[in-house]
Chain A
């Protein structure tokens, strides 16, 4: 039984098909990379899995249960959390309060929520910034706050939407370390990323989208040598 199953999912905006009949599965415990050129439908696919969009056709199932059609908060309660490519911190709340707000999903009271939040902040290395208003955080930390907030909902599947974009090399290393640690905790990860070195290094498998269609799926090495992927996305220099 696949952990998450995306079956023949299409999503239309007016006459435009952002995703065309895409199917793939995610197995428990793996890191699945989702790559493709701009406008390939990666974020749209996240929005479909997360419940912001309902698929126009096809369905998404999470652990035997069909989740397409549910609302984002219901899907989050079932164990799927996400981050946003364009970060959405709760600006006029402190870093700690941001995480507390999401920790309440599983916590009975404020004390327990604070406990979860502090653990997550330690885990993501944001503990020193806990009292900073989140609008005052630099981009790298805001991206990490997105991850922290998602983790505080105690997910089983984490959707990371370009959590590494725009980071400097030091921040990049820190974030890769965090993603690896998340996986060690048994959380399954689907990640969208343009940073090829990162995606090749951490993914177990990669799915490639182009113009809304899946053009390849496989281990990083297969993807790197797949002529269709090279033509559509990686380019000659990468493959050399």
Chain B
């Protein structure tokens, strides 16, 4: 049963649009699945391999701009950005990895954080190339209906899930976790830690880039402040996985549901304004104190706390 769970859930999700959901509900579902993809991608590098990135907006934004600039500069469909982003994002990831992966722990986290910010500022200022703060607008939308967008992001999510699972059950997965647990021990056991950290980074970046390229096509508009955002992308990515469960297969999905719904609910309170960030902060503190492994990772503990455990 457990083996088929991913396929059952994918099947159910594929049937959802037939239920005649409203455009708003479809939009929320699309966002949830997109965040699940970003979360799963981040989880690969930071959850399993232990290299905590505070700069995944760099890869999301690169993917988004690959799609956007294919349209704005070459006049071809932004959807080509999804395959092309593999190359572009890999190149960026290799450069960022070359700089950041020689650092460990918090130093790596700070370096990636700065990479996200550097790319944002670069995109803002290279006006001739990226369009600067004006951003990129895709005028011809592919579909008015959300259904096809939903199926495309669902396909990306299923692919990402299976790819992560495949990786984690192979030699790569063992090596990633070994590096997370003790880099010196891993190195002395014959694991080329630099190489495998780079592989984790590139895989994670490419999967994040898919979500970015999808975002451009779906939203029809991007600008540097949105797609290279520190708190709205990089930090939310971390929260999605922390809330859902670090280094678990289902954690990013669960975290994405909670974070997207929470953002919608909080946004609907008109008097709150930008104070909604406070709620995320409080949520993160509560999660770290009571459920350090996230909802999926500490599910047994959560059930106990809610008094639902069968003695």
Q: Do A and B come from one complex?
A: yes
- State in angstroms the CA–CA spacing of A109 and B174 once bound together: 12
Of A51, A89, A97, A104, most buried by chain B (CB within 10 Å of CB) is A104
Residues of B close to A210: CB separation below 8 A: none
CB proximity of A118 to chain B, nearest CB, Å:
15
Q: Say yes or no: is A189 at the interface (Cβ < 8 Å to chain B).
A: no
Residues of A close to B187: CB separation below 8 A: 52, 71-73
- State in angstroms the CA–CA spacing of A104 and B178 once bound together: 12
Do residues A102 and B190 form an inter-chain contact, with CB atoms below 8 A?
yes
Do residues A149 and B189 form an inter-chain contact, with CB atoms below 8 A?
yes
Residues of B close to A101: CB separation below 8 A: 174-175, 177-178, 186, 189, 191
Q: Say yes or no: is B181 at the interface (Cβ < 8 Å to chain A).
A: yes
Do residues A93 and B171 form an inter-chain contact, with CB atoms below 8 A?
no
B162-190 at interface with A (beta carbon < 8 Å): 169-171, 174-175, 177-178, 181-182, 184-190
A60-92 at interface with B (beta carbon < 8 Å): 71-74, 76-77, 81-82, 84, 88-92
Q: Say yes or no: is A124 at the interface (Cβ < 8 Å to chain B).
A: no
Interface of B, secondary structure class, is helix
Do residues B174 and A52 form an inter-chain contact, with CB atoms below 8 A?
no
Q: Say yes or no: is A34 at the interface (Cβ < 8 Å to chain B).
A: no
Residues of B close to A153: CB separation below 8 A: 189-190
Q: Mark A193-227, 1 if CB is under 8 A from B, else 0.
A: 00000000000000000000000000000000000
Do residues A113 and B185 form an inter-chain contact, with CB atoms below 8 A?
no
Do residues A76 and B190 form an inter-chain contact, with CB atoms below 8 A?
yes
Do residues A90 and B181 form an inter-chain contact, with CB atoms below 8 A?
yes
CB proximity of A151 to chain B, nearest CB, Å:
11
Do residues A72 and B175 form an inter-chain contact, with CB atoms below 8 A?
no
Residues of A close to B191: CB separation below 8 A: 73, 101, 105
- State in angstroms the CA–CA spacing of A84 and B177 once bound together: 19
Q: Say yes or no: is B192 at the interface (Cβ < 8 Å to chain A).
A: yes
Give how many B residues have a beta carbon under 8 Å from the other chain's beta carbons: 19
Residues of B close to A188: CB separation below 8 A: none
CB proximity of A93 to chain B, nearest CB, Å:
6
CB proximity of B40 to chain A, nearest CB, Å:
20
Do residues B188 and A104 form an inter-chain contact, with CB atoms below 8 A?
no
Q: Say yes or no: is B142 at the interface (Cβ < 8 Å to chain A).
A: no
Do residues A90 and B185 form an inter-chain contact, with CB atoms below 8 A?
yes
Residues of A close to B171: CB separation below 8 A: 104, 107, 109-110, 113
Q: Say yes or no: is A100 at the interface (Cβ < 8 Å to chain B).
A: yes
Of A76, A102, A110, A113, most buried by chain B (CB within 10 Å of CB) is A102
- State in angstroms the CA–CA spacing of A92 and B188 once bound together: 18
Of A71, A72, A105, most buried by chain B (CB within 10 Å of CB) is A72
- State in angstroms the CA–CA spacing of A105 and B187 once bound together: 11
- State in angstroms the CA–CA spacing of A78 and B238 once bound together: 39
Residues of B close to A82: CB separation below 8 A: 188
- A90's nearest neighbour on chain B, judged by CB, is B181
Instruction: Pick the contact of B181: A51, A93, A100, A104 (CB < 8 A).
Output: A93
- State in angstroms the CA–CA spacing of A52 and B189 once bound together: 12
Do residues B174 and A104 form an inter-chain contact, with CB atoms below 8 A?
yes
Do residues B184 and A88 form an inter-chain contact, with CB atoms below 8 A?
yes
Q: Say yes or no: is B77 at the interface (Cβ < 8 Å to chain A).
A: no
Residues of B close to A74: CB separation below 8 A: 192
Residues of B close to A89: CB separation below 8 A: 181-182, 185
Do residues A92 and B189 form an inter-chain contact, with CB atoms below 8 A?
no
Do residues A105 and B190 form an inter-chain contact, with CB atoms below 8 A?
yes
Do residues B170 and A110 form an inter-chain contact, with CB atoms below 8 A?
yes
| Given the contacts A73-B191, A77-B190, A113-B171, A88 and B178 also touching, CB distance less than 8 Å | no
Do residues B178 and A90 form an inter-chain contact, with CB atoms below 8 A?
yes
CB proximity of B42 to chain A, nearest CB, Å:
19
In addition to A97-B174, A150-B189, 14 A-B residue pairs with Cβ atoms within 8 Å of each other are A52-B188, A72-B187, A72-B188, A73-B187, A88-B184, A90-B181, A90-B185, A92-B177, A102-B178, A102-B189, A104-B171, A105-B189, A105-B190, A153-B189
Sample (25) of A-B pairs whose CB atoms are under 8 Å apart: A52-B188, A72-B187, A73-B189, A73-B193, A81-B188, A84-B185, A88-B184, A90-B178, A90-B182, A91-B181, A91-B182, A92-B181, A93-B177, A93-B178, A97-B177, A101-B189, A101-B191, A102-B189, A104-B175, A105-B189, A105-B191, A107-B171, A149-B185, A149-B189, A153-B189
The 3 A-B residue pairs with the shortest CB-CB distance, nearest first, are A76-B190, A90-B181, A88-B185
Binding site for B on A (CB under 8 A): 50-52, 71-74, 76-77, 81-82, 84, 88-93, 97, 100-102, 104-105, 107, 109-110, 113, 149-150, 153
Binding site for A on B (CB under 8 A): 169-171, 174-175, 177-178, 181-182, 184-193
